[in-house]
Structure 1
């Protein structure tokens, strides 16, 4: 029973690729007209230039600014810049005292303000915690996202009573409409929620009824912590009001009460392994925080109040630069009266050291003074870019020349595939530059140049597999199918290794090397897209043409040039004829098979095959057991045989 033939639809693959290209450049055209998109990728600092700001950290009491403080200040500024969407920014330390911030292009005033703004540390009580996603209707939200539904009572009354009092107070404060206005249709717009508290004065800093006004609750419900724009920090909020904010990772959002302890009240913070009351050291990493005299007094009152509350109101949040870096809960029955707190949790050595560094940074009343602000050019980068592009064009030209010399007309498929990969790469980088703020740096250009060799290597593997199948006697259409089955695994394995190397390099490297790793990984994915959706479908179409299908000498698929016209020995006495379209023909004879291999040795046979052929020829000339002996001639001096006896044997 014949095997069912596989249906190929190369046109569908080419249409999918064409649709992808149209979608990329169509979105760019639409974005350039109705948004701030550009038809070309944005360039990084080394290729375009930008703005350089030199900041000098200054303390109020002329305290020493340590290198650790400088490093933490750089981390805070980097968090702001990265979350604002500015890519390829360079933030470094200069002389151990100053911070140099270089932003590519012309940053807007908001980004420059984020760089200049000082970072402060605050300790606030937690009122409510929920997931990072926004809630359209706070009334229909999950109870964890509704502050009034989850809060524990703070003044001895049920939380439901406090929540019910808020709308009533708003309704009483709203004036009744005039009689003539009653006939007028009511406007469809919803009135802004009130920011008036539900009572005249708070009982304490955890009083949810007072601080969670309708406006605060609406802001909390609408906050989207998955949006990087809400993770920039730099917004402290009023010290005597509630604060709605996120954590730096965007995994949770918080509704916090007013500031109870300033960062300047933190005397010291260290990290280390936990030591029990008996003096034993465990394997758990903790952070030890010590407060000054004023902080100790306030924290004693705070922990006493938090002990009477339930989760999450028994937590206090450490807010650095407007974002919650940690929100530990108070252990049951613990009241910290000596100002020495131990923060434990799922800490590692690195995370514990980071938190301790952040607390020490917040302990300093640190401000940034702008020493200088100037525009920097990209003269050196432009020169390097020009040389890099020349090197890339030379490499691309050599690949094209080699492909045409080695594969003749088949090399045009390589050229077309490289063009398709280049168009896709340009479109993807342009879209990422528009939507994600990506900027192309000089190391990124180097990654694009390296990608030329990676992409060409995939085509060479595929073409050589097709040639091998033609040498085996298959037709071009069968060779394209069989060669694709074998080459596909090799291409996938090779690109997987390249992509894994790009991921490791991106995670471990810093600075411009990450730009190289990013473009290397991106072009590796595009290489697979082009091979699967362009090169292979194009070869299926070319196999149906007369020029390539019949093996024209200029097609690069001529069997005579490939050494595939002679019969091929397939083992076990089988000889494959090149004209049988890849089907093996067995010699139906009782004589031993003489294997033939084209192009091996001077006679077209291997040494073992020649020996087998000689042995077979010797066996054909050897007399069989029933063969008659030749008649000797009398003149040869041989004795004539007698009947049944030999003379000289008688007795």
Structure 2
């Protein structure tokens, strides 16, 4: 049983797109109203980057605390730390560069907050601290506290083995909503207030014996630990001016864990040098694993020897020490043996890149830098509003030229292109404005260039789609089928093209810095928007327009007129039916114009061959009949006294019969003929009996066979010895008494 093809529903896609646009613009409008008057309020206009708006510029000069020489490596490491601080604070499109190998220039777009400026001004310090406890990056779980989980009540408790396993079968599978901030703080207050007096003590209950003593964990430290969420990037900003003589609650640099650390055991100045390399065993053979080797100063060797000896006797995780840089844990290692000679080796799952990074950080910490602010000024835009206006003007000119070309090349289809470009522009502007509010994105001039290039990317998708439709029309499909088949073929090309553009944008974004990243970001964003517009707007609109008379019947201004596209082949309709033929363009040929199949063709536009093909018969006079004719009930003319031979039509390959009002067919030797003459050879069929389109070679072979058959038939008619007396409609009798025309004539035998 044949299955019906899936019904196309373009209206649903258009409704989904409308809901998407309304949701985007509605979110932006709500954000503008809700955040009105705030520092980072939403706006209908995207925020501009440093090159278009200007901002604040700070020039910092790093100074070593021991008056030693500051190297270029120290400056580069300081730039990386400042960039990490700025990026974590949510400021984008900032420019941080080195000036003359000694100064650091930090340019922040717009009006940065005082907190952001303080992050830039502060220096970074490296310290070694003992680990008192370590846990996952999240906050306390109020549900676990209510269930009496010991790990939720005691920050020093070790997590149980089943803490990370799947819930039991009896547990509810329904997802639970995440706890609110109020619930987290209430649970943390309950777990931290061990004496139940409603206040958090800041002093240890018992005097700690050393920096690894758990008594350093006070009620206030416990509360801070419970409420710290290291999955939030704001908690990993760094720049914390911690007290070296007090415990510290902080996150790891990558946000994978959070710690309670004891007071500082060794300052970064105790490190003489740090190098990355492949580790060796006791026999001096390479282990193939990357390690970081430390060498301490004289004072550092003495302190670290006592520190390592103490950690060996402690249970985990208190037998670990953490390396803290800029207030964040960059490494935590377990002590496996005492280090009396000041030469330590940190091993783990290091790669060459991570080992070199840690070595550089340790070297930077060995020479702590204080940043001296040389100047802090407000700078104007390097390009300014004039360049922005020119960029926008260039984009409008480019879009205008694309629109004019589409209208000239595609006529009515150009209107679909203009509407699609308008939808793409609305989506792009709305998304950029929304990202400016939510993630602090700022539009730079390279970003504007990326949006201008997106006009060509979007127009390219339309051209591929429209040309595919035209190709289907040229191949003989009706317009409604050409839209669906053209889309199936064009979709693969559009997806491949946009995938290449998006991949190039991703690679460029991660390999570039500064303004080039802005270009890559907008290029990738507009490529995704192009897919949305083509899938949810352009194709559904074409499906709706093809149902109208203007586009569906191939109006000459629609851009889909079959005759102008060169569609001249026969179209098979199915069930043995073919498209109606159009008037022949050249003598002796019958070619049909297809593509704009209009139902309801009138009978007077159908040729005589088509009418005979509908009835299954055609008539012709017997050779040698008299030229006098009499009308028949069907409106044709037949010579009196002749035999009408009725033959079944041969289908679309049969030569056309004479229609109403056409002159009678003259037999061989008739006065109007002037002698035997071969009739005009009909053209070879373009479609086979099975509905398959014939190739050019097959058509030529059929044409030759038809011509040879016609020549044989004409030759047989010209050499017929039978003659008829003038005025007598009967043929002379043969010697056997039968009329010769009854048996010998090729047309004898009545209806065949």
Please report the TM-score for the alignment, with normalisation by the length of structure 1. Answer: 0.84
Q: Which string of whole-angstrom CA distances, capped at 9 and with x for unpartnered residues, describes residues 360-417 of structure 1?
A: 1111131000111111111524333233222211211111001101111111111111
CA distance in 2, matches of 1:446, 1:367: 40
Q: Is the 1:50–1:104 contact (alpha carbons within 8 Å) kept by the matching residues of 2?
A: yes
Once the two structures are overlaid, the 10-residue window that deviates more, 430-439 or 295-304, is 295-304
SS of 2:58's equivalent? strand
Q: CA offsets per residue over residues 184-210 of structure 1, 9 Å max, x none?
A: xxxxxxx454334232x01222222x1
> Separation in 1 of the partners of 2:118 and 2:5?
66
Partner of residue 744, structure 2: none
Look up the SS of the partner of 1:301 in the other structure: helix
Quote the residue 1:375 is aligned against.
378
- Establish whether residue 62 from structure 1 lines up as the match of residue 67 from structure 2: yes
Q: Determine which of 179, 202, 210 is the counterpart of 2:208.
A: 202
Question: Residue by residue, what CA displacement relative to the aligned partner does 1:96-140 show, whole Å, maximum 9, x if unpaired?
Answer: 100000000110111001000000001111122222222243736
2:321 to 316, 323, 328: 316
Query: Secondary structure at 2:4's aligned position in 1?
Result: coil
Mapped to 2, the partners of 1:338 and 1:446 lie a distance apart of: 59
2:19 is aligned to 19
When residues 468 and 142 of structure 1 are mapped into structure 2, their CA distance, relative to the original with a 3 A threshold, is farther
Matched, 1:400 2:403: yes
- 1:133-172 equivalent positions in 2, closer than 5 A: 133-137=138-142, 139=145, 143=151, 146-150=154-158, 170-171=195-196
Equivalent residue, structure 2, for 1:127 = 132
| Mapped pair 1:436 → 2:439 | yes
Name which of 61, 73, 77 aligns with 2:78.
73
Alignment of 1:36-115 (within 5 A): 36-115=41-120
CA contact (8 A) 1:413 1:535 kept: yes
Query: 2:543 aligned with 1:540, yes or no?
Result: yes
Q: Does residue 617 of structure 1 match 2:707?
A: yes
Alignment size in residue pairs: 588
2-structure distance, mates of 1:311, 1:13: 59
Match for residue 228 of structure 1?
233
Whole-Å separation in 2 of the counterparts to 1:574 and 1:204: 99
State the match for 2:677 in structure 1.
none
Aligned-partner Cα distance in 1 for 2:377–2:521? 29
| Residues 462, 483 of structure 1: 8 Å contact kept | yes
| 2:411 aligned counterpart, secondary structure | helix
**Is residue 279 of structure 2 the alignment partner of residue 274 of structure 1?**
yes
For 1:351, the equivalent position in structure 2 comes to 354
* Contact 1:128 1:145 (C-alpha < 8 Å) held by counterparts: no
Residues 281-333 of structure 1: CA distance to partner in whole angstroms, max 9, x if unpaired? 332211111112222222222212221223322211111000111111222xx
How far 1:150 sits from its partner (Å)? Answer: 2.0
Do 2:193 and 2:200's aligned partners in 1 also have CA atoms closer than 8 Å? no
Pairing partner for 2:563 from 560, 565, 589: 560
2:124 partner SS: coil
Q: Is the 8 A contact 1:143 1:150 kept in 2?
A: yes
Cα-Cα RMSD? 3.2
| Distance (Å, rounded) in 1 between the aligned partners of 2:403 and 2:99 | 47
Aligned residues of 2:458 and 2:530 also touching (Cα < 8 A): yes
Q: Is the 8 A contact 2:290 2:347 kept in 1?
A: yes
Distance 2:513 2:382 in 1: 23
Cα distance in 2, alignment partners of residues 142 and 420 from structure 1: 57
User: Aligned equivalents of 2:205 and 2:14: distance in 1?
Assistant: 64
Residues 466-523 of structure 1: CA distance to partner in whole angstroms, max 9, x if unpaired?
A: 2222333333332222222221111111111111111111111122111111111111
CA distance in 1: counterparts of 2:651 and 2:261, whole angstroms: 89
**2:302 maps to which of 297, 313, 333:** 297
Q: Following the alignment from structure 1 to structure 2, what is the Cα–Cα distance between the partners of residues 441 and 136?
A: 43
Instruction: Look up the match of 1:502.
Output: 505
After superposition, the Cα gap between the structure-2 partners of 1:618 and 1:142, relative to the gap in structure 1 and judged at 3 Å, is: farther
Q: Show the counterpart of 2:169.
A: none
Tell me, in whole angstroms, the C-alpha distance in 1 between the residues paired with 2:461 and 2:716. Answer: 65
CA–CA separation in structure 1 for the residues paired with 2:496 and 2:244: 57
Once the two structures are superposed, the pairs formed by residues 248-647 of structure 1 within 5 Å of their partners are 248-331=253-336, 334-567=337-570, 578=594, 594=684, 596=686, 609-610=699-700, 613-614=703-704, 616-618=706-708, 620-622=710-712
Aligned to 2:73, what secondary structure does the other structure show?
helix
Question: How many Å apart are 1:336 and its aligned residue?
Answer: 0.9
Structure 1: give runs of 5+ residues left out of the alignment.
153-165, 175-190, 598-603, 632-651
Describe the superposition over 1:623-646 as per-residue Cα deviations: whole angstroms up to 9, x where unpaired.
899999988xxxxxxxxxxxxxxx
CA deviation string 1:592-647 (max 9, x = no partner): 993549xxxxxx9968854662354235425899999988xxxxxxxxxxxxxxxx
Counterpart residue number, 1:640: none
Distance 1:247 1:574 in 2: 76
Partner residue of 1:163?
Answer: none
Distance 1:108 1:2 in 2: 69
Checking the alignment, whether the CA contact within 8 Å between 2:550 and 2:558 is kept in structure 1 is yes
Verify the 8 A CA contact 2:554 2:596 in the aligned structure 1: no
Residues of 1 paired with 2:444 and 2:217: CA distance? 47
Larger CA Rg, structure 1 vs 2 = 2
Q: Per the alignment, in what secondary structure is the counterpart of residue 334 of structure 2?
A: coil
| Distance change >3 Å, CA 304–CA 463, structure 1 → 2 | same
Higher relative contact order (CA 8 A, sep 6+): 1
- Sort the Cα spacing of 1:194 and 1:119 in 2 relative to 1 into closer, same or farther, 3 A: same
Is the Cα–Cα contact under 8 Å of residues 130 and 145 in structure 1 kept in the other structure?
A: no
Distance in 2 (alpha carbons) for counterparts of 1:79 and 1:23 = 34
Deviation at 1:275, TM superposition (A): 2.5
- In the alignment, the residues of structure 1 paired with residue 435 and residue 382 of structure 2 have an alpha-carbon distance, to the nearest angstrom, of 25
1:379/1:294 Cα in 2 relative to 1: closer, same or farther (>3 Å)? Answer: closer
